Structure formats: structure tokens, C-alpha cells
Structure 1
């Protein structure tokens, strides 16, 4: 499905762009200070520093490659089916990231292709003219695909000026973000108008892009429905769940939690355990979104007086957890295992105003979901999931630490095995029904690139 508007192609706003470049030059030293600060957790933050400035590439010329930019973990995973489809066509890929965890995820997913040279992986440079110019001259891709929400002005406008087609793929735009763009007037709208095309996830997203005057918008669905779950991790999760069920124990996964949400969840969990309504107390698996917060969250669990162990203390699937209240999921890339082992998921990012995290992977594992009120980053997926009974909403405001609503929502579902089973089957059907975005995106890109040639 295609939606069009008749605004002229976006043009670089000279005054605002000059201000933007000045700010970037002033803030550049702080960017390196930030990397140095983060290197306290991993020295890898200081690797590939020249790439951040558009230099230091080994074998830089990959002319004719398809350039896919996936800023971090979620975008890299979402890009997987698209990357695999292009590799199957015999194409080479230039894969760029902004974050260390995004790069690590790319290495994990595409290690053999990277080793063989079919995929080249680097950091996207900071959005300064001279950095971007050297990057584009070094790699000379035939076209570019930016995943989901990325829109760096220098990159976008420069690609438009040199005739390099750049598309925003699997694109989403919340109402809040659209309002922010409009606050910048013509300068903000010109940024999205400068894309060769935008392939949006939903009608909501497409409508917002059109309201910004974007010339070429298509609705192609959400790539995350096409991302396959790691079969080995799924089996590990199922084995773990079977061991828990053998002792009549249920598990709740609090997934991709953000700063402030862990305190709410731990408070609600203590209330749940103290209610004494379960013959065998359920187990909480708490998985923070950002690895650098693992130590901080471990301290919170300890301060709450709950017995816990870290996932990293097990070599395989955790088994000796009968006496534990909480397991801290301090590992990377194991969400399919956590979901497959759980009877219910509390989706992080939605309890406080962070916009929510992706619930699709949990649904693919057949795990029912509890959502807070804040799901504007995944508006359509959340609305659909609630409407068909895959997900439930936590009624009540959690912003000021009122945890009773969360406690009662958990209690109601964990004590209703037939409802959990019904939601689980609906979740699997929901994830299968919405697959197919990869084929739609490939077809749309083929058509648009042909029209541009």
C-alpha cells in the first residue's frame, strides 16, 4: 500500500544546518569523553575510534554494496531477515552501527558472513560534514537503508545531494516524535523529505510521515515479525520451563527494563510473595535492557531483601533455583531463552514513559505480555496485541511508585492457568499472522530503485 503527498524534495536548510554543525563541533570532545566514561565497563568502547570520524578503515572500498544502518541491538536484530534476503541474492552488505552493543549483535548474528567478507561492519561516523564525506567516498555504496527511526541530517542531506538513494526502512514515528519534528518547522520536515523513500511499519506511522510532507511513503509492515528465534535458545528455555513446572513453579520475565522500572517491579514482586496466595512461589527473571546497569540492578535486588542469583553464574540452563526469588538476566542475546522459559512477560520501557520495548519476540515464543501505559514507540503492535487478547494493560499510574496495580495484574494472571494458556496460543497466532514484511520491503525497494534508475 502506498501513500503520497506532493511536497517538493527536501532541501538542506542552510541556516539551521550551519547551527547544527557548529553544535556538533562544540560537543565532539564530549562524545569522546562519553566513550571514555563507558570504557569503565568495557574497554571495547575505545576500539575503532577513527571510524567515529570517518577514517581508519581497512579495505575501505566496497563500491556496489548495499549499505544498511542499524544503530543498536533492536535495529540490528530487525534487519536480520532483510540482510539474509540480500545475501541470498548474492549482494554484499555494508553494515553500520552507532553503539558497541549493536556491533556485537551484528557479529553474533552474521559472524560467518563477516568472516567471509560478504558483510563489512563499521561504525557510522559522527554527523559532521567532513566525517560523513570521507565515509561516503571510502565505501561508495549503491544505495542505503536506515532502520526504523535514524535520520542524521548530514548523512541524509548529503546522500540526496550526490544522488545516493537513501531509504528509511521499517520506519516508525510516534506522535510525540512527529510533534518534535514539526517544532523545527520547514527545517525539521525537510530532513524526512530528503529520503528517497520511507517504508513505514503501520498506517499510523505512514500518516505521520505524510503530515511532514514526505513525498514517497509505503506501508510494508514490521520486519520484527520476520525475525526467527534462535532454535537452540528456545529449546533451552523450554527445558528450563519443564524443570520449573515439574516443581509446580511459574516464572515471570521482566524484560528490557529501564532505569526506575526495576524498583517498581521488585516492590510489586515482594508484595506478591508476601500475599501467600501461591502454593509454590513464582520466580522472577529480571532482565535490564542495558548491560552497564547489571551491577546496579543486582544491588537493588539485594537491597530489596530478595534471594537471587545471576544468569552468568550458570554455564547452561539454570536448574538449582528452588530457593530463589529472582534471577538476574545478566547475559546478552538470550531473550528467546528467557521468553520460552516464562509463563508471562512484563514488558520493560512501558511502566514509565520510555515508550515501551518490542513485544513481538515474546509473542513469537508464545509468551503472554503485560504492558504499562507507555507504548507509543510500538503503538500499533501494542493496540493489536491488547485487542486480540495477547497482552493485558496494567491499570493505574506506576509513575509515583504505586505498585498495587502491577501486583494484582500479576496475581490475576498467574492464578488463572486457562487464561494464560489461551493468551499463549493467541500470541503464537498473532506473530505468524503478521509475518511477510521482508518480501514487501524487497518488492517496494526494487520498484523504487528501478524508477530512480
Structure 2
């Protein structure tokens, strides 16, 4: 059966192309970015820009950053790459509209941005033949069997950078009867975030694995965003601001119900009016396509909502709930909040990145599910920058207690900043490793 798995995979990806086009049309109704340059997803480049031309002695570097988080990680290492290769050109690919919108900010003159090709043999081969990158960098987790095969068939060095692999993902890869393990083994190198990640990649047979750290520690919160968050805070009512940060589906409704359950009055508005130091609640959903749905959920629970998109250049408007419905402003939200509950950690979703919160000096309360960022979560706990609780109800209790304990909150904020500084350096190490790889391939 095992030799048939790649054949069945090829048939499945080929047969799924009409379904993919239908999905893109459906998603494009809410996010028009998905309707842009659809043919690129199928390896058709008639209307796409031509291959970028680096200067002599510099490479065309292809970076694949599937979505928003991976694109932001790429943004951290890219200045290092441009510094060591002044004449390089960038080929940047994505899978989501939010990733592509964010990635457009990273382009320099002569760079090209495309959609990731759907993982059929034909589309991936056309991609490689059309653009012929000198070196490929897949960010974090994005290993697609046919895409890897198309690169290795032409001898292109291909690495997985800022790489992470949870125990759950390892088990999933091992169940593919050699399909994904073969793709991992074909990579030139894996630059892992942590030693546990590296050990799991070695279990899959990856021949070259180095632990270079997590690029996200090198991200510096933008000073204008921190200042914006502080201005919002100064203009807000003098009560604690508690944020559910990067929330995922299922968590918001539970969060709103917990708020209602904790209120000693029949309506949420009456509760807020009657309780001294009742928190100002803030929710920032992880995915922008869910902003409207989260606002509707809050309204269904009897909560009034003030959306960031309505504030303009002014202050937050009075409401039971503030909704952070903007992109690229997480540092401002962390500066606004007294405490952040970590989204993705209160449902079995693996948690979201807590490093930015720590770097901004915002104490973190996280739930039991942090397997996507397990080492960073444990390190933050050990550093005193975060707390762990068993469930959302305990999380709300812990966050409110912490909000009322200014000395402890300040100690956690200071510990978070120190924790973030302590683990910096992955960007320089990653750029240096790619430099050595490029030199060896020439």
C-alpha cells in the first residue's frame, strides 16, 4: 500500500483543483484578495511578473510564508539577508490573503510576489521552471510533497526555517506512509526553533537539522504602536483592560458567556455600571475574516461593542467590549491591556505566539493547550512572564486578580521584556546559515 500513497496523493491534488477554485470564489466574497491572480495558484504565469534578476554574485531567494504569522517571521530575517546579499532579489509566495497583503510591505524594487502553487506535480514544476530560484526558504511548517520534489529535481537548496514540529504533527506525518517523511528527508536542511523540535525532525529522518532559535524573539515592538496603545490607555476609563489576544473560533463565545456568568446583574451593561473596577474587556481575533462574526457573537450575548475600525485617530469608545478589528496593531493592543489571555490555548488548538506580548511588557495568562509553542511557553513560565491555568474560567479569575496587583503585574512585565531579549539572535544565525548553504551550492 505504501508505494501507492504518492500516486493517490497526486490524483487527489489534481482532482481537487475545481474544489479549490470554488473555495477561492467563496472566500473572495469576504476577502477580495483571494480573487487576485488566481491562475498563479495553478502554476499559470502569463500575466505574472517575470523572474526577478539579482545582480551578479547574488541569489534569487524564494521565501514561502503561507500566512500572516509566517510572513511576519520572514520580515524579521529579510533585512539580514539583504544586508549580506545587497544585490539579492526576493521571490515571496503566500497561501492566504492576509499573508499576501502583509508581504507586499516587504518588497523592494525588482522583487516579485506570487501565490503558492497548488501542490500538483504540474503546477509546482511550472513554478520552478518559470522562476528558477537559487535557494528556497519555507517558513515554519510548510512542507508540501510535490513542491519539495519539484525543487529537489532541479538541485535547488531548500530549507525549512524557523521550523517547528509538534508531537501531534509528528504523529500525523508518520501516518502518511512515507509521503511526508520522504518530503522532510528531501530538504537540504531544517533550522529548528528548539531542541525538542529538532529531535522530532530527526525522527522523520531529516539529514541536517540545526537549532537556531525562534525568529520572533528578534522582532522589536514598533515604538509608534506602543505609543498609540498608551494613548488609548490614558484616554480609557480608569479600570483594568483585560484582553483575549489572538482568539480562535470557540474561545470568543466561551469568553462572552464567562463574562455574563460572572456579572451579578441580569444584563451585562447593568453589571458593568454596578461593579467597581469591573474590567474593560478587549478581544482581538486571530483571523480578520472573523471580525464581523465575533462582533455578532458579542451582540448576541447582550454586550455592546466598540470596534477599533470605528475609533479612527481618536480614543476607544465606551462599550462593554472593545473589538480589535485591525491588522498590524498587536503591539498597540498589548500596550493598551493590563493582562492578556493567550488565544488558542483555551481550546485544543496549540496556542498562539506569546513572544510579542512579553516583548511589549504585557503579562500573559495561558490555558493548557500550548503545544505549538511549548518551549516558549515553558520558558515564559520559568521567567515569570506568564501564568498557566486549567481553563478559561480560571484564566479570567487569574487575569482579574493580576490586574488588581500592580507590583506583581509590573514584575511580570519586566520579566517578559527580559525574557524576550534573552532569546534574540535567531535572525543573524539563520542568515549566516543560508549564506554558507548558498556558497556551498555555487
TM-score with structure 1 setting the length: 0.90
SS of 1:199's equivalent in the other structure is strand
* Counterpart for residue 325 of structure 1: 320
What is the correspondence of 1:43-192 to structure 2 with a 5 Å cutoff?
Answer: 43-56=32-45, 57-62=47-52, 64-88=59-83, 89-90=85-86, 91-107=88-104, 109-110=105-106, 113-114=107-108, 116-117=109-110, 119-192=111-184
Tell me if 1:340 matches 2:330. no
Tell me if 1:270 matches 2:260. yes
Tell me if 1:299 matches 2:313. no
SS of 1:370's equivalent in the other structure is strand
* Counterpart for residue 427 of structure 1: 416
* Counterpart for residue 417 of structure 1: 406
**Distance across 2 between alignment mates of 1:238 and 1:33:** 44
SS of 2:92's equivalent in the other structure is strand
Deviations 1:71-116 (Å, cap 9, x if unpaired)?
A: 0000000111211222233121111101111001112x32xx44x2
* Counterpart for residue 309 of structure 1: 306
Contact conserved, 2:143 with 2:184, CA < 8 A, in 1? yes
Deviations 1:216-243 (Å, cap 9, x if unpaired)?
A: 0000000011122222212101111223
**Distance across 2 between alignment mates of 1:421 and 1:272:** 26
**Distance across 2 between alignment mates of 1:187 and 1:129:** 14
Question: Aligned pair in 2 of structure 1 residues 186, 40: CA closer, same or farther (>3 Å)?
Answer: closer
Deviation at 1:336, TM superposition (A): 1.2
SS of 1:40's equivalent in the other structure is helix
Deviation at 1:272, TM superposition (A): 4.2
Deviation at 1:413, TM superposition (A): 1.3
Tell me if 1:232 matches 2:207. no
SS of 1:285's equivalent in the other structure is strand
1:40 aligned to 29, 39, 56, which one? Answer: 29
68-77 or 35-44, which moves further after superposition? 35-44
Contact conserved, 2:139 with 2:160, CA < 8 A, in 1? yes
- Tell me, which stretches of 5 or more residues in structure 1 are unaligned? 1-12, 397-402
Deviations 1:296-347 (Å, cap 9, x if unpaired)?
A: 11111111112221111111243443xx221111112211111111111111
RMSD: 1.8
* Counterpart for residue 215 of structure 1: 207
311-320 or 149-158, which moves further after superposition? 311-320
Deviation at 1:440, TM superposition (A): 1.0
Contact conserved, 1:272 with 1:407, CA < 8 A, in 2? no
**Distance across 2 between alignment mates of 1:332 and 1:369:** 21
39-48 or 197-206, which moves further after superposition? 39-48
Q: Which 4+ runs in 1 deviate beyond 6 A? A: none
SS of 1:39's equivalent in the other structure is helix
**Distance across 1 between alignment mates of 2:251 and 2:173:** 28
SS of 2:77's equivalent in the other structure is helix
Tell me if 1:249 matches 2:239. yes
273-282 or 230-239, which moves further after superposition? 273-282
Question: Aligned pair in 2 of structure 1 residues 122, 85: CA closer, same or farther (>3 Å)?
Answer: same
Contact conserved, 2:316 with 2:322, CA < 8 A, in 1? no
208-217 or 324-333, which moves further after superposition? 324-333
Deviation at 1:44, TM superposition (A): 2.6
Deviation at 1:136, TM superposition (A): 0.8
SS of 1:170's equivalent in the other structure is strand
Tell me if 1:286 matches 2:295. no
* Counterpart for residue 6 of structure 1: none
1:386 aligned to 381, 386, 390, which one? Answer: 381
TM-score with structure 2 setting the length: 0.92
Question: Aligned pair in 2 of structure 1 residues 80, 103: CA closer, same or farther (>3 Å)?
Answer: same
